[in-house]
Amino acid sequence: MIVRQFLQWLRHASPGERAEATSALARAYLHSDLSPADLSAAEGAMIMLLDDPSPLVRGALAQVFASAQKAPPVVVHALAADQPDVAIPVLSRSPLLSDEDLVDLFATAQPDAQVAIASRAMLTSPLAAAIAEVGCAQACLTLLENPDASIAVFSVDRIVERFGHLSAIRESLMDRDDLPMATRQALLAKLSQTLAGFVTARHWLGSEHAEYAAREACEKATVALAADTPYEEISELMRHLRQSGQLTAGMVLRALLSGNVVLFEEALAELTGMPIERVSAYIQDKHISGFRAIYAKAGLPDTAYPAFREAIAALRDGILLGETGGVSHLKRRMVERVLDACAAERRDDMASLLALLRRFAVEAAREEARMFCDDLVANDQVAFMPHIDEPRLVA
């Protein structure tokens, strides 16, 4: 009887009045002691209200049923497919929407609705994978910032692939403690591409020059990143670099000239498919013929071989003894020795290699000077630190 009177009243009520009455009806459905007949009638009335032309009415239903376990499923599913300002409360909180429902809704949802889904508590990895695959940038950022979301590594990689050029995405990812080093390197590559595009668009550099500079900067950053990479992640980082086309002769040579033998050996193991133990044995063998064989198997260019050969000889001679700065920077004495040896061969096909080694030499000299000046300033600060007398006891 009450529901019948409610329906008759609706015909003449304003949208605001209808919304207020609809909210009361929905709360009564959830919390009042209605008979089965009244519950059925109330549910029918609310299903009818799904066709109300005013979003205020449908929104009133959504607000009441957003978190309700006992809400009518048919009403909740209809509200979830409504316009965003009606659907968002349900999409962000309703326990009646399964992962399958949400994935289906997400595919055609507008950005605001996608963000609502990405903010859900206890968000599962299959739903996170769908968001990473087709979600807008804001939805992906919301997913990354959702502390309750379970996100697989491949989903993170997909977000990097799609939106790694956006600073907000990069910053959110770099703040994650569980981010694999391969993914961090992918972010570095995205950043270098973004910077190259930026300087080209500003006409500060030609596109070819900008891309070349960005690539070298990325290689430098990658070697520095690898220096901080746990040993168990190095092989995965090398696999990522090879698959993305970044494991070049220039990067491998940079690693060797920085004294990062672990990275050098892992790179050769990845390029040759040989066990790391065999690669290490060939490199440490005093007969250079073994290294020459795995160098060829790795597919590295013949023109760069003299640089690698001389660098390995320098390592065996102990050229890195007494060097500071770890393995994240080029070592000046080593670079200059390799440059001198390659220049002495006077081969016409080594022009590009010599140009690369000269750039390495300049970079190494600048880094050495920077570290020297930093140490000098630090020592001066210690030397000129004001002396503070110890307190004296007064008898």
Q: What are the angstrom distances between the C-alpha of 381 and each of 212, 368, 385? A: 40, 20, 6
Whether the per-residue pLDDT at 50 is higher than 70: the answer is yes
Whether the per-residue pLDDT at 322 is higher than 70: the answer is no
The confidence score (pLDDT) of residue 216 equals: 75
Mean pLDDT, rounded, for 99-121 = 96
The confidence score (pLDDT) of residue 393 equals: 45
Whether the per-residue pLDDT at 122 is higher than 70: the answer is yes
Mean pLDDT, rounded, for 196-225 = 71
Closest to 141 in 3D by CA, of 161, 107, 118, 123: 118
Q: Is 245 left (phi over 0), alpha (psi -120 to 50) or beta?
A: left
The confidence score (pLDDT) of residue 378 equals: 66
User: What percentage of residues in the chain have a pLDDT greater than 90?
Assistant: 57
Whether the per-residue pLDDT at 305 is higher than 50: the answer is yes
- The residue among 159 and 227 whose pLDDT is bigger is 159
User: What percentage of residues in the chain have a pLDDT greater than 70?
Assistant: 88
Please name the residues in contact with 255: beta carbons below 8 A apart, sequence gap of 6 or more. 223, 226, 263, 264, 267
Whether the per-residue pLDDT at 366 is higher than 90: the answer is no
Confidence of residue 340 (pLDDT cuts 50, 70, 90): very high
Whether the per-residue pLDDT at 31 is higher than 60: the answer is yes
The confidence score (pLDDT) of residue 217 equals: 79
Mean pLDDT, rounded, for 108-129 = 96
**Helices 84-93, 55-65: crossing angle, 10 deg rounding:** 10
Lowest mean pLDDT of 152-156, 189-193, 227-231, 258-262, name the range: 189-193
**Helices 2-10, 15-31: crossing angle, 10 deg rounding:** 160
The confidence score (pLDDT) of residue 368 equals: 84
Angle value at C-alpha 381, between 380 and 382, nearest 5 degrees: 90
- The residue among 209 and 138 whose pLDDT is bigger is 138
Mean pLDDT, rounded, for 333-343 = 93
Confidence of residue 210 (pLDDT cuts 50, 70, 90): low
Distance from the Cα of residue 117 to its chain's centroid: 21
Q: Which range has highest mean pLDDT (103-112, 197-206, 223-232, 369-378)?
A: 103-112
Q: Is 272 left (phi over 0), alpha (psi -120 to 50) or beta?
A: alpha
Lowest mean pLDDT of 54-68, 111-125, 138-152, 186-200, name the range: 186-200
Whether the per-residue pLDDT at 390 is higher than 90: the answer is no
The confidence score (pLDDT) of residue 66 equals: 96
Whether the per-residue pLDDT at 383 is higher than 70: the answer is no
Mean pLDDT of the chain: 87
pTM score of the predicted model:
0.71
Lowest mean pLDDT of 9-13, 27-31, 83-87, name the range: 9-13
The confidence score (pLDDT) of residue 395 equals: 39
Whether the per-residue pLDDT at 341 is higher than 80: the answer is yes
- The residue among 292 and 6 whose pLDDT is bigger is 292
Task: Tell me the backbone φ, ψ of residue 245, rounded to 5 degrees.
Answer: 75, 20
The confidence score (pLDDT) of residue 2 equals: 65
Digit-coded pLDDT (tens) for 149-200: 999 999 999 999 999 989 899 999 988 888 888 888 888 888 877 766 666 6
